[in-house]
Structure 1
Amino acid sequence: MDLKLGYNCICWFSHAQPCKMILCPKCNGDLGAGTVRGATIEEIEAEKSVIEKDAKGRMEKTIETVRSNFNSIRTGRASPAMLGKIEVDYYGSPVGLKSLAQISSPDGTSLLLSPYDKSSLKSIEKAIVASDLGMDSK
């Protein structure tokens, strides 16, 4: 028999699912030796820290996504972050534009792309025109 930690109890049982109630519903209260006990403070704190760690990780990912989305908002000024999500078909595989070119903004109305590989210029131009940003190359 295995020792499984549930939310409200620790019980010994033969099936693979952890018990989430005072009595295990799969066993109908018959837990082999009939032992059900409340969780100790240490077990509750351990479970609490696992839940907090998971919640914190998911919250940090959400905040990073929101920051990324805010960076790509068009505000009337040209920003290199506007091109951050563009994927370029480079020799048959999608590659992020940041990996293929240096992106800068010499003034507030234009963006300057300097490709590392000059042969990728047509692919970069095609990806920018095909994107939903409404930009064209000049």
Structure 2
Amino acid sequence: MKNFFKKFRLFLLLVTVISFTNCEDSNEVVSSELTIQQKVALLEESQWLLKGFEDRVMHTFKDSKQFTYYGTNNVFEENPIPGALNFTIEGNLITIDYNFGNINSYELTFSCNNSIVEFSQNGAVVKTLYKRGSNFQQCL
């Protein structure tokens, strides 16, 4: 009988320890969704490869401009092509001015540890970019 009580106390102690170690601070607010400013910051800190043209087309974002680089076999030109595109943040959207009256707004969705970004309009993915140097292939 003594052995039973020892095992029971050990079990009770184990359950108590597990219960308290899994508790989260109820005052801590955790947001899984990034703000548009955080999304743009992620865009601006990396180089991005265009889906389907990963070895030939790369974009960078800096100072409210999108720059495009062309390359061959993952070797990209040092300087972007002329004609950077301006972008702005409007609400939760990024709006890109493609010039000559072509202006489009997109929702940005990051996935795969922020190594894949999708540009969507009305729920449909329009463009996908992969973070250069990341392991985005593991998520495909």
TM-score (norm 1): 0.27
Higher strand share: 2
Higher helix share: 1
Structure of greater Rg: 1
Relative contact order (C-alpha < 8 Å, sep 6+): which is higher? 2
